[in-house]
Structure 1
Amino acid sequence: MEERSAHGYQPLIRFDNVGLRYGLGPEILRDVTFAIEPGSFQYVTGPSGAGKSSLLRLLFLSLKPTRGMVEIFGQDAATASRTTVPVLRRRIGIVFQDFRLLEHLTTYENVALPLRVLGHPDSSYRHDVTELLEWVGLGDKMWVHPPVLSGGEKQRAAIARAVITRPEILLADEPTGNVDPPLARRLLRLFIELNRLGTSIVIATHDLALMDQYDARRLILNSGLMEIHDVV
């Protein structure tokens, strides 16, 4: 029988007593149990080295747990086949700290890439990509290549690329780390609007000022353990 949340929905992602270690080292995450529901918004926070990035890698199926169970869209991550993993990942948008933009593509082409991979013709998404780039302040950098962009501009391009397909889940690793406070607030509004359209948001951040601007559930990692603070 499928497990249901308190709201009656099947969670998009479920962790059950998950542990993670690299090689023979100590556990980075220990006994982590939580669920991400459809349309939810949560911050993952905690001190540096607490395991925030490792948790996002588990959520994106870049890692498999050492123990416990990670279930994504009803699929056990431990038994997901090589052909299944890419299909699941297409339902997830992710913003990495190192951006991972392709340097031989323009900003526009980088942002449009997920839609091209899905087989959509340029004419079907040109307006949406252009509008999104204008919104994140990159309208004048649309046709330049990543080496010309600043760190903050690369971050905005990476965020635009992650949200252009309106994924079911968006994972963002320190998405406002290289931008000034006004732009951080604008990017947060983008995440909030995407959430209102139905995307579940997971933002890993240590920025307390950012979290205070929008009240949402906090998944707090400390020494590999998770404490959950729900919105009151």
Structure 2
Amino acid sequence: MIRFDNVGLRYGLEPEVLSDISFHIPAQSFQFLTGPSGAGKTSLLRLLFMSLRPTRGQITVFGKDALTLDRHELPLLRRRIGVVFQDFRLLSHMTIFENVALPLRVRGKEVENYRRDVSELLDWVGLGDKLHAFPPVLSGGEKQRVAIARALIDQPEILLADEPTGNVDPPMARRLLRLFIELNRSGTAVVIATHDLGLMDQVDARRMILSNGRLDMFG
């Protein structure tokens, strides 16, 4: 589904933050991306989502060369990818329900066709009583769960999650992990960036370890 071949990334004239990165993400696979702070995990996720261009190398997404896509193709490919950002990127003027339903609205679906699905997913992440609340009144952990629900609601072909359990307590982290596992079993490839070794130990999944801008693969 996604392939990196000798990808390098630098910001401006600074040394490369990622060097000679090569790997592929098969369909329906599950992998963790880990490594020390500053290793480049967020940069790698941004490359995966095509919101950042590499300095060198080749990235292939769903059989397309990500570096030669025109402006019409890029949004269509991104719709096939669910993303949970560390900064959440919720729309403060929309309710929690509306934020989660946004990917479905973009596809032109009517609220009558997705109201139940959105409500059930918010129940699962423990926010069923906050459908009509707005993001500014939520805690950091609640905002994170809304962002996760929004990324999952349209059953993407690939899910990219940047520290998705970083602001929640251990019981909720385990619950969210079960949700990711069920999504994977239904056919979605999952990439979770995390420092949480305990979380990774709960799943038999490949580990991609970034260190000093280079990538090692285990599993």
Pick aligned residue for 2:200 from 191, 196, 211: 211
Map Cα deviations across residues 139-183 of structure 1 (whole Å, 9 max, x no partner): 011110001110000000000000000000000000000000000
Q: Detail structure 1 runs of 4+ shifted over 6 Å in the superposition.
A: none
Pick aligned residue for 2:72 from 58, 77, 83: 83
Q: RMSD across aligned C-alpha pairs, in angstroms?
A: 0.5
Pick aligned residue for 1:55 from 44, 58, 64: 44
Q: Secondary structure at the match of 1:79?
A: coil
Q: Secondary structure at the match of 2:91?
A: coil
- In the alignment, the residues of structure 2 paired with residue 26 and residue 212 of structure 1 have an alpha-carbon distance, to the nearest angstrom, of 33
Pick aligned residue for 2:125 from 117, 132, 136: 136
Give 2:22's aligned residue: 33
Give 1:4's aligned residue: none
Letter paired with 1:31: D
Letter paired with 1:138: L
Q: Secondary structure at the match of 1:69?
A: strand
Give 2:87's aligned residue: 98
Q: Secondary structure at the match of 2:7?
A: strand
Q: Secondary structure at the match of 1:104?
A: coil
The answer on 1:119 being equivalent to 2:108 is yes
- In the alignment, the residues of structure 2 paired with residue 71 and residue 63 of structure 1 have an alpha-carbon distance, to the nearest angstrom, of 14
- In the alignment, the residues of structure 2 paired with residue 184 and residue 214 of structure 1 have an alpha-carbon distance, to the nearest angstrom, of 13
TM-score, normalised relative to structure 2: 0.99
Pick aligned residue for 1:223 from 209, 212, 218: 212
Quote how far apart the aligned CAs of 1:105 are: 0.4
TM-score, normalised relative to structure 1: 0.94
Report 1:139-218 matches (<5 A).
139-218=128-207
Equivalent pairs: percent with the same residue?
71
Quote how far apart the aligned CAs of 1:195 are: 0.1
Letter paired with 2:101: A
Quote how far apart the aligned CAs of 1:81 are: 1.0
Letter paired with 1:105: M
- In the alignment, the residues of structure 1 paired with residue 95 and residue 124 of structure 2 have an alpha-carbon distance, to the nearest angstrom, of 17
Letter paired with 1:80: L
Letter paired with 1:40: S
5+ residue gaps, structure 2:
none
Q: State how many pairs are aligned.
A: 219
Map Cα deviations across residues 16-42 of structure 1 (whole Å, 9 max, x no partner): 011000111110100010000000000
Quote how far apart the aligned CAs of 1:225 are: 0.4
5+ residue gaps, structure 1:
1-11
The answer on 1:14 being equivalent to 2:3 is yes
Give 2:62's aligned residue: 73
- In the alignment, the residues of structure 2 paired with residue 31 and residue 143 of structure 1 have an alpha-carbon distance, to the nearest angstrom, of 47
The answer on 1:46 being equivalent to 2:46 is no
- In the alignment, the residues of structure 2 paired with residue 150 and residue 207 of structure 1 have an alpha-carbon distance, to the nearest angstrom, of 21
- In the alignment, the residues of structure 1 paired with residue 54 and residue 137 of structure 2 have an alpha-carbon distance, to the nearest angstrom, of 38
Q: Secondary structure at the match of 2:164?
A: coil
Give 2:53's aligned residue: 64
